[in-house]
Chains A and B, each alone.
Chain A
């Protein structure tokens, strides 16, 4: 394998550099503008259904929300005039905002400034109306006790925000525009049954308004031409005006029009749902015809296309997601997940990468910001040139691209009943979640099931080691178990108990989403909603999956391996001694923690029987979904990722037999080894990870690896890295991502954040600004294993 001639790294254009600087300099504010509009509309239409109120309020926001155009922008549009604003979305949840309003500007993670007048208006006009009417409040009132009873084992998600993690049919939107899709909806509405009438009406309302939204941008840009301070800016504004007004009436034809259309779609989806992660998916595929047509017609050159892509990349950084402080500690760095995939293969195994795939990487190497979340789809036939370019960009250290494996993911999706043509066209939504393109409500973050906590209960008669509360069924103490099999049996009982309650809770959450948050605009770009005349929250999509995360392979494998070997097989550790140590967090027996760490093999070191334990329990859990369907009638499937939730989830688990003290983080990522415990190098870690069957991660998996930059400085190091990626593909692992940064870099950034404002780092499934992370998470990242290029 050879390292291809690397393209000359010229850096972004002046225009892009300026836009980026201005964006990063702008402070972040809480925004209540849309919340006020929505509240007005809801109050004015009190008697209407949720679907009508949602459609009318969205339409009103599209028509009234203040808009802004920078004369240098090639791609325009946002849902606030300021960038990176924290938008208040009252339909989903508001009590937490009230609780946190005064601390939001100084909370440990993801701060937003709050203007005093906004705080006052919020409390006077928004809060009183929404209390008791939001998703969050409704769920709490109806199902609070159920959620609380399982909270320490199962974290149910989507409780206070609308559903995201969706890959819309962007290709269709670009081709037809809102006008074209409206025509389709209007044609179907003619034959609507009474049940469907309201859905089609809502779709027409929001599509009409989306055209007005674009016209407003055309008007604003047009007005600005007269005051432009240079002929270039005037020309650019004229072009912006032309494009926006064209897109309001129909589809895109040029590359710039297509990119602008794409961005309008995502700005509007966020306006409707303020959810985490609407993802463009395989943009190198559906944008390519526009690129090619422009190149062939001589309207555009490669540099011009690159600048447009970089302009879009900047846009992806302008919409962030306001989370409550608890959620921000799980998903630090306000990731919103504009996940762009590139590369990949078709059903016959032919490579589908193209010039845009390379341009995406080049744009990433210039912009080096957290968004988009750039994902490389690798396969057996990925060309060396693309792989080498991925290696080069990974070596720059922004944590991107992350790497996905067609060879394991496509079969994993097919095993979930997804048609081959859809499976091969998969994309990534949010961090690492897998989805088909344009026809799936994947509900990929339905819940996280903490197997480590269930194991704790299995050893302690169902009682929480931290609080002493009786959480699970009384299955006895470890001291009661004569054999390892007895422990396994108790573990299974604990899992079964919480599993049933989790299903019940997931169904409740979906039901309330359906009741309160119908989403007509989203439905217009998800197949088969228009066909079926059914909102996406009611099961209108072609695929209706729900994803449950199994947490955390490494700690379960290490804990059970230590108990099996030292307690049951060798008898060197007494059961009573172990239980006593777990109950007292090793405080009186620190030596036992050392023994458990040092005298039993660990996941991540290519030890078959240890890895098999991890695989066995993920299997056990995943099999329980067989024959079940979710509230929308689709399938449940499993994922193996925590994003950064391994920190708070670990805070909730007592001492474990892998030698981990109470409250310490779990293993990071999802597939990673417990940090510092994988001692045999990257190939041994990958071999261990490969033993967890990849189809168990059809909802997504996450493996973090950290390398020092030195590896990428030599040609043989870069080649070895690229080869390692080929090995990763052959081993059938779904996902891996890399942090390439030195410990010293990170420590320096912690001390002098100002100097390192640009330093982005892979937190988990996404990239964030390192200096904007809370200190404990920073320390955690510093502590993670890194591989020298020894």
Chain B
């Protein structure tokens, strides 16, 4: 049985593939996109989080911690992560659920059990399971085994990924993943490194290989997140469109509007976020403008 590490499993997902889906968010990611919507999915290691807004300052956590990793200070609760053994005693005792782990290990069978809870909804909607993250390709064996088990039960599978991974992690998925959603963010390799911490050469190489392997099957969707100042510029979007035309002009493209709500998540986790509350989602007119950059190059876009 294969074990994977997830930070969430979400039911009734409707934007990550066809129908009503259960989305498995895998933990750990080699990229560091500045706009990351799921910061809890960045690190592979599980860690303990404290949510100041929920804390009632009871001190129970400090009392039960066997390693002295928690200190109640006049300004909040301090966690000494080096000393924390992740025993969970503090999580259990906190009356306010103000302490939580940002991930858990789960077996393929456990995923299947969770997914089967929505079997009726998957069936009536033609939905299934989406692997997202974090970066699912960072846990290739788990994704492969779980997807294979899902497919053998007749459930459609989708992978949403940055595709920053060795091709050897992707190739075994070809028979067990029905739809590949490839995130393409920045066209220029240097700018890509600034925005995400890595160059995009591997990603584009994988996209080419994937397109070749699945040509004509309609199993690839390209997704472009619209991020103010990073991806949502006419230059970048135009360049991405040119690049896609060169790879395969039949690739469908979906633009993902900027979601300003992520800043609340950062705030709750006490993390800095450069897209503070000022940033907003793009208007329908702005969206139409971005879409036209792809449409005028002959791509199917929405």
Contacts and interface: CB of A to CB of B under 8 A. Distances in A.
Interface of A: 1, 591-592, 594-595, 598-599, 606, 680-684, 687, 711, 714, 716-717, 719-720, 723-724, 726-727, 730-731, 787, 789-790
Q: 7 closest Cβ contacts across the A-B interface? A: A723-B125, A726-B124, A720-B14, A594-B95, A681-B12, A727-B121, A598-B97
Interface of B: 10-15, 18-20, 56, 58, 95-97, 117-118, 120-121, 124-127
A683 B12 contact: yes
A598 B96 contact: yes
B124 A723 contact: yes
Contacts of A680: 11
10 contacts: A591-B58, A594-B56, A595-B95, A598-B97, A683-B121, A687-B118, A717-B15, A720-B20, A724-B20, A727-B20
B96 A719 contact: no
A730 B14 contact: no
A682 B125 CA distance: 14
Contact of A682 (B12, B15, B18): B12
A723 B20 contact: yes
A617 to B, nearest CB: 24
B118 A683 contact: yes
Contacts of B56: 591, 594
A727 B126 CA distance: 12
Nearest to A682: B12
Given A681-B11, A684-B11, A723 B121 contact: yes
Nearest to B92: A599
Contacts of B95: 591-592, 594-595, 598-599
Q: Counting chain A CB atoms within 10 Å of each CB, which of B11, B58, B121 scores highest?
A: B121
Contact of A606 (B58, B96, B117, B127): B117
A651 to B, nearest CB: 27
B11 A711 contact: no
A727 B96 CA distance: 34
Nearest to B121: A727
A783 B212 CA distance: 51
A789 B14 contact: yes
Contacts of A723: 19-20, 121, 124-127
Given A595-B95, A730-B124, A717 B20 contact: no
A649 B10 CA distance: 35
Contact of A717 (B10, B11, B14, B97): B14
Q: In the complex, which of the residues A1, A594, A723 has the most CB atoms of chain B within 10 Å of its own CB atom?
A: A723
Contacts of A591: 56, 58, 95
B116 to A, nearest CB: 11
Given A591-B95, A683-B118, A720 B124 contact: no
Given A598-B96, A683-B20, A716 B14 contact: yes
A716 B58 CA distance: 45
Max chain B C-beta neighbours (<10 A), residue from A606, A684, A720: A720
Given A680-B11, A714-B15, 17 more contacts: A591-B95, A594-B95, A594-B96, A598-B97, A716-B15, A717-B15, A719-B125, A720-B19, A720-B20, A723-B126, A726-B124, A727-B120, A727-B124, A787-B12, A789-B14, A790-B12, A790-B13
A394 to B, nearest CB: 16
Contact of B12 (A1, A594, A720, A731): A720
B117 A684 contact: yes
Contacts of B97: 598
Q: Describe A's contact surface by its main secondary structure.
A: helix
Contacts of B124: 723, 726-727, 730
Contacts of A682: 12
Contacts of A717: 14-15
Contacts of A787: 12
Contacts of B18: 716
Given A594-B56, A727-B121, A790 B127 contact: no
A562 to B, nearest CB: 13
A724 B96 contact: no
B39 to A, nearest CB: 16
A683 B14 contact: no
- Pick from B10, B11, B12, B124 the residue with the most CB of A within 10 Å: B12
A687 B114 CA distance: 13
Contacts of A592: 95
Contacts of B13: 790
A724 B21 CA distance: 11
Nearest to A723: B125
Which of A592, A595, A724, A789 has the most C-beta atoms of chain B within 10 angstroms of its own C-beta?
A724
B117 A687 contact: yes
A477 to B, nearest CB: 24
Nearest to A787: B12
Nearest to B96: A594
B230 to A, nearest CB: 23
A598 B124 CA distance: 34
B19 A790 contact: no
A726 B19 CA distance: 12
A730 B121 CA distance: 9
A720 B125 contact: yes
A170 B25 CA distance: 56
Nearest to B18: A716
Given A594-B95, A720-B20, A724-B20, A711 B12 contact: no
Contacts of A594: 56, 95-96
Contacts of A711: 14
Contacts of B121: 683, 723-724, 727
A720 B10 CA distance: 15
Contacts of B58: 591
B136 to A, nearest CB: 18
A681 B96 contact: no
A781 B61 CA distance: 36
Contacts of A714: 15
Nearest to B21: A720
B164 to A, nearest CB: 25
A681 B120 contact: no
A587 to B, nearest CB: 15
B12 A730 contact: no
A683 B122 CA distance: 10
Nearest to B284: A713
A720 B118 CA distance: 13
A39 B56 CA distance: 64
B91 to A, nearest CB: 11
A256 to B, nearest CB: 40
Contacts of B20: 683, 720, 723-724, 727
A604 to B, nearest CB: 13
Contact of A726 (B11, B14, B125): B125
A730 B95 CA distance: 38
Contacts of A598: 95-97
Contacts of A726: 124-125
A716 B18 CA distance: 8
Nearest to A684: B11
B61 to A, nearest CB: 13
Given A723-B127, A727-B121, A790 B10 contact: yes
A627 to B, nearest CB: 36
A289 B11 CA distance: 45
Contacts of B12: 681-683, 720, 724, 787, 790
A606 B11 CA distance: 11
A225 to B, nearest CB: 52
B14 A681 contact: no
